Amino acid sequence: MPTKLDGKAVAAALKDELRDRVAALRERGIEPGLGTLLVGEDPGSLKYVAGKHADCAEVGIRSIRRDLPADADFGHIAAAVRDLNEDPACTGFIVQLPLPSGVDENAIIGMIDPAKDADGMHPYNLGELVLHVNGAVSTPLPCTPRGVLTLLDHYGIGLDGKHVCVLGRGITIGRTIGLLLTRRDVNATVTLCHTGTPDIEERMRQADVIIAAVGSAGFVRPDCVKPGAVLVDVGVSRVWDETAGRFRIKGDVDPACYELASAYTPNPGGVGPMTRAMLLANVVDMAERAAR
């Protein structure tokens, strides 16, 4: 039987560990704080930010929330970023995307203090990850790639010498996870596939691990999966369920693939909880580095 990689259970265990680390910091007079900057009232973003603050309450991290109206311009958003950069109570923070149309998201992300970049997506921190093939990385890591590797490690799934096929070239995971997978302590070989990749099905069939992040429900079909492969589903699509009369979240991996796999992540309940846990871990890491 294939192993279900339960992100909810692993994230809960990680939160227990983080709760102890936060308590140890508090004994030294240090209170980690996570900030969020949300512009507008997108339902998905509102729910996601609320979940982050609920996670903070679980482990004892201070929540710092900055909300701006949907018509906030670049100057107002930039001022809020500077405010969080300068706030001593804020250990690290995120700018919730997407931002309003016409606002340069990369410019806003570039204004974040790299030492407070809780998402690990600042150009400086990504550059540090590029530079360090060996040894420990002392800068924040991208949350979703870090969550994927932590989940696989928890279940004892080694990637040394494995062929990993990554589907999708988005910055959240597609373009960044290869930086972690090809470090010598992981030692995987990575093929990055996207809309310009010919024979993408054949490339999937050759892979020991498929990490799917294209946002297309059921994109990975049973005929694309090598028996015994590990399937990591990061894609999120809202699909209308006529029977239930509502939208449901669907992943990139067709559930019919599971019986062929040696291990798989459910969606939802796999990578998503790990991403949120890694955000907390980045903040605690930052507080511990500052304390040292």
Instruction: Kindly state the average pLDDT of the residues 244-272.
Output: 94
Asked whether residue 168 is marked as a ligand-binding residue, the answer is yes
Q: Check residue 16 and report its DSSP letter.
A: H
Whether residue 248 has pLDDT greater than 90: no
CB 285 within 8 A of CB 61: no
Asked whether residue 75 is marked as a ligand-binding residue, the answer is no
Residue 118 one-letter amino acid: A
Distance CA 140, CA 174 (A): 18
Measured in whole angstroms, the distance separating CA 19 from the mean position of its chain's CA atoms is 20
Whether residue 178 has pLDDT greater than 90: yes
Asked whether residue 26 is marked as a ligand-binding residue, the answer is no
pLDDT bin (cut points 50, 70, 90) of residue 216 is: very high
pLDDT bin (cut points 50, 70, 90) of residue 265 is: very high
Asked whether residue 146 is marked as a ligand-binding residue, the answer is no
- Read off the pTM: 0.95
Closest listed residue to residue 189, CA positions, set 213, 158, 165: 165
Just list the catalytic residues. 52, 96, 119
Domains identified in the chain and CATH numbers: 29-119 (3.40.50.10860), 143-272 (3.40.50.720)
| Residues paired with residue 163 on neighbouring β-strands, in sequence order | 189
**What's residue 37's pLDDT?**
98
Instruction: Kindly state the average pLDDT of the residues 98-115.
Output: 95
